Structure 1
C-alpha cells in the first residue's frame, strides 16, 4: 500500500488546488476505500472546516451525517490527562501522588520498583508497567471477577507483581496499563467513577461523551470496520471496559472540536478551566510524550502535539500546532492499512492549506 501512497500524492496534488477541500477529502476516502471519513480544522476562536463524508457501514446506503459518533481510542488519553489536571487544580490529588499512597492495600504484592511511580509518571508513559492492549491474550475475562471496576483493580494488581518494562530509545515505556492505573487513582481521589468524571468535563465543554463503539447502544451510528474492512456488529468488549481511561470514548466530530479548541485557547492563556502553564505542561511539558500527547523533537518555536487512536475498528488522528494556532482532527470508521494511508494524505493536504 505504501507503494501506492507517493504516486497518489503526486496525482492528487495536481488536483488539490482545483478542488475544494471536501471534494479532495472524498476522493481520498474513495481511493482508499474508507467507509466514513470526518475531518475538522480549528483555531482557538473558530472552526475553519468540519465535514462528514461517506457511509456509516461499508456496502450500504446509510449516508454519513452530522452528529455521527466515532470511537477515538488512544485520543482518550488526552481527556484522562485533562481530568487529572482539573483534579490537581482542585487539590484532590497531586502529580507526585504515588500508586501506593492511594492503594496501600496493594503494598504486600507490589514490586519495590513501583513504590515511587506517580500519577505524572503514569500519564507520561514513564510508569514502567508492562505493555497491555486490546489484542493482549492474557488475562482472560474468566480469570478476573466482580464488576469492571473490580476487574480493572485486579488487572493492575497483577501487573504490579511483574518485572518492569525497559525504556525505549526515547526513555518511554508506553503501556495502556499506565492509564488504567491512573484512571483508578483519579476515581479514588475524586470519589467518582471515571465515566462520571468524563461526563462532568463534557458538561463543562458542551460535549456528550459516551463509551464503547458507537453502534453498541445505537445501531444507526457508524459501525467500525476491522483490518479486512469487515463491519463489526454491536458487541460489548470486556477489554475495552478494562481500558476505559486509556481508550474507550466515543464522540461526534463537531463536539470533539470543542475540547481541542479549549486546548488551543489554553495555550494562549484564554481558558477559564486551567492556567496557561498547565496547558503547556499537558501538551509539551516532557519530551517525546507528555500528558496524553506525543511531541517529538522539533525546531525551536515550533511545537506540535499529536496522537492516534486505533482500537481495531476506528482510526482517529489529532494534531495540535501551537504557533500556528491550528489543530487538525481526522476521524474514520475503519482500521485497515489503507485507512492509515488515507489519513496521512488528508493530513498532509490540510497542513499545506491551513498552516503548520
Structure 2
C-alpha cells in the first residue's frame, strides 16, 4: 500500500513536471508569435503554486532575461488593492460601505451636481455612482491644479463632481470610472488624515510585506522590466524616467509589484472566499467579490458555465496584466506582460485559455 502511494506521488510529480516543461514551451511560442517582450504567469490555489514561470526579455532592445524578481505595472488591477486597503479601515470602524461622500465633504455640495448628493463609498468602488470615466479617451479637459499630489487629488475630485453624471448603457448597471476611485480615496484620506500612498504603503508593505511600489518599475538605475507602447506598428520601450501621470486617478491604476508578491495577495482572497479569516475577515472578502452583480468592489463578478469568477485586467498603455479567480474551484490564473497592443491582449487571451484548459483538476 505504501509503495502504491509512493508511486502515485511520483507519477503526479512527473505529470506536473511534464506539464510545466510543455506549458512553458507553448506559452513562450505564443509570447514570441504575438511579439510580447516578457511574460510572467502563475496558476495557483489558496495554498499552492501549481505552475509559475518568467519568459522573455526586459525590453525588445535588451538582452536582460526575464525573472520572477521583475516588477510589472498592474494598471487597473490596482483597483482591487485600493478596495482591499479601504476594506481594512472599514473593519477598523473608520468608515462604512454605505457612508455617503457628502457626509464627509458637506462643504463641496454646493458646487456639485445634485445627482451625486447621495453617492456612497461602495457605489464609488463598484462604479455605480455614475462618475465620468476618465479613461484617457474623450475625457473632459482637466484644469491646472496646484500643490502636492494629495492636494491636487482634492481639486480633481471637486472638478469631477461638477460634471454631469455619466449614463450607463442598457446592458450594465454601472459606468466604469477611474475618477470614482479617486473620490473613494478622498473619503479614506479624510477619515484617516493620511494620503492614499501612505495608506497603501502601510497595508501592503508594512503589514503584509508585499513590496508594492508606485508608478512604473524603475528601469534606469536597475535591471527591470520596461513597459512598451505601440506606435506605428512597433513596440517602443518606455523608460521609467518618462514624464507620466494618470491625471489624479492613481488609486485606480498606478501600482507595480512582482508576481510572487501578487500571488500572496490573490491567495489571501482565495482563502477568504473559502471562509478563512486572515488580514481581512472572510465576510469582507465575500462582500468585496460578490456584493454586486457584474462589477462588485474592485472585481468584475461573472458566472460562466456554472463557475463563478472574479476577473480583472489592467493597463496604463505600456503593460498589460490579467487575473481570473475561479471562486467555485478555488483557483486563480495570473498573467503579467510588459507591453500593450492588440497583439498583446490577443496573446494573453490565448495563454489564459491554455492555462485554464491544461490545469483544470490537476
Residue 213 (structure 2) pairs with residue 207 (structure 1): no
Alignment-derived partner of residue 330 in structure 1: 335
Q: Residue 6 of structure 2 aligns with which residue?
A: none
How much has 1:36 moved relative to structure 2?
0.6
**Residue of structure 2 in register with 1:158 after alignment:** 159
Deviations 1:62-92 (A, max 9, x none): 1112210000000000001111111111000
Structure number with greater Rg is: 2
Choose the corresponding residue for 1:231, options 222, 233, 237: 237
Per-residue deviation, 1:96: 1.0
- 2:307 matched to 1:305? no
Deviation at 1:355, TM superposition (A): 2.1
* Corresponding residue number in structure 2 for 1:221: 224
Match of 2:279 among 273, 283, 291: 273
Residues 236-245 or 265-274, more deviating: 236-245
The answer to whether residue 196 in structure 2 is matched with residue 190 in structure 1 is no
State whether residues 314 and 332 of structure 1, in contact with CA within 8 Å, keep that contact through their aligned partners in structure 2. yes
Q: 1:283 to 1:22 in 2, by over 3 A?
A: same
The TM-score, its normalising length taken from structure 1, stands at: 0.90
Quickly say closer, same or farther: Cα 1:260–1:58, change in 2 above 3 A: same
Q: 1:49 offset after TM fit, Å?
A: 1.5
Task: Please give the per-residue CA displacement for 1:106-149, whole angstroms capped at 9, x wherever unaligned.
Answer: 11201111110000000001011111024566545x71111111
Question: Counterpart of 2:254?
Answer: 248
Residue in 2 that maps onto 1:10 = none
Asked if 1 retains the 8 angstrom alpha-carbon contact of 2:134 and 2:179, the reply is yes
Q: Is the 8 A contact 1:55 1:62 kept in 2?
A: yes
CA drift of 1:221 comes to 1.4
Change (3 A) 1:343 1:269: same
Aligned length: 339
Using the size of structure 2 for normalisation, the TM-score is 0.89
Which residue pairs with 1:94 in the alignment? 96
Q: Which residue of 2 aligns with 1:314?
A: 319
Contact 2:97 2:120 in 1 (8 A): yes
User: CA 1:243/1:236 → structure 2, altered by over 3 Å: closer, same or farther?
Assistant: farther
Deviations 1:227-282 (A, max 9, x none): 23111122355532612110000000011100000000101122322222221111
Farther-moved stretch of structure 1 (309-318 vs 266-275)? 266-275
Partners of 1:116 and 1:59 in 2: CA distance: 52
SS in 2 for 1:345: helix
- Unaligned runs of at least 5 residues, structure 1: 1-15
C-alpha contact (below 8 Å) 1:99/1:118 kept by paired residues: yes
1:44 to 2:51 alignment: no
Shift, 1:218, TM fit: 4.2
Q: Of residues 29, 53, 56 in structure 2, which corresponds to 1:54? A: 56
- Counterpart CA distance in 2 for 1:145 and 1:136 is 23
Question: Separation in 2 of the partners of 1:81 and 1:36?
Answer: 28
> Structure 1 CA distance, aligned partners of 2:25 and 2:208?
31
5+ residue gaps, structure 2, are: 1-17
Q: Note the C-alpha offset of 1:206.
A: 2.4
Query: How large is the Cα RMSD of the aligned pairs?
Result: 1.9
Counterpart of 1:342 in structure 2 is: 347
Q: Establish whether residue 106 from structure 1 lines up as the match of residue 111 from structure 2.
A: no
Query: Structure 1, residues 40-60: CA drift from partner, whole Å, max 9, x if none?
Result: 111101111221110001122
Q: Distance in 2 between matches of 1:127 and 1:29?
A: 39
Separation in 2, partners of 1:265, 1:18: 25
2:73 and 2:216 in contact (8 A); partners too: yes
Q: Distance in 1 between matches of 2:202 and 2:147?
A: 26
Query: Measured at CA, do residues 145 and 217 of structure 1 come closer, stay the same or move farther in structure 2, by a change above 3 Å?
Result: farther
Aligned to 1:6: none
- CA contact under 8 A between 2:70 and 2:258: conserved in structure 1? yes
Report the CA distance shift for 1:136/1:56 in structure 2 as closer, same or farther (over 3 A): farther
